[in-house]
């Protein structure tokens, strides 16, 4: 699992963080002022990259969280069936299969280049 560690104060909207061992894209981030004896807290709302589930957490701004290393890569479509596409990464020539998302079912053709993301050992087609 390729992750780094960052403090909550360093996070920004449209960046990524791990919530419940799921890589999520931050949608909103709000901080409260520190109280008389407490410290400032941040409320983070995010959407899971792979499952599109909305998650929210509240952490102190000095709390350390995991940030996933997400790489956007290009692959060539070798063949495809109703639900799976066989792809070859154009950088390291690795061959693998990924499920085809509903929006790309009619857009794939063999020999075409597509984009996919690779995060924490999981992959997903993002653009055809």
State the number of CA atoms in the 13 A half-sphere of 93 facing the CB. 0
Q: Distance from CA of residue 115 to its chain's centroid?
A: 14
Least-confidence region, from 20-24, 45-49, 91-95, 106-110:
106-110
pLDDT of residue 102: 87
pLDDT of residue 25: 96
pTM: 0.85
Contact assessment for residue 22 and residue 55, using Cβ atoms and an 8 Å cutoff? yes
pLDDT tens digits along 16-64: 999 999 999 999 999 998 888 888 999 999 999 999 999 999 999 999 9
- Per DSSP (E only), the strands in the chain are 3-7, 16-19, 22-31, 41-48, 54-60, 64-68, 70-80, 84-89, 95-99, 113-119, 122-127
């Amino acid at each position: 699992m390729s992750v780094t560690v960052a403090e909550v104060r360093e996070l920004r909207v449209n960046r990524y963080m791990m919530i419940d061992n799921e890589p999520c894209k931050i949608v909103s981030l709000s901080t409260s002022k520190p109280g008389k004896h407490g410290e400032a807290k941040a409320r983070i709302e995010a959407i899971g990259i792979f499952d599109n589930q909305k998650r929210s957490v509240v952490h102190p701004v000095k709390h350390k969280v995991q940030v996933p290393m997400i790489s956007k890569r290009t692959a060539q479509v070798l063949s495809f069936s109703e639900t799976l596409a066989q792809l070859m990464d154009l950088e390291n020539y690795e061959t693998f299969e990924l499920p085809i998302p509903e929006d790309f079912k009619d857009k794939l053709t063999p020999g075409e280049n597509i984009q996919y993301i690779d995060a924490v050992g999981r992959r997903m087609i993002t653009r055809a």
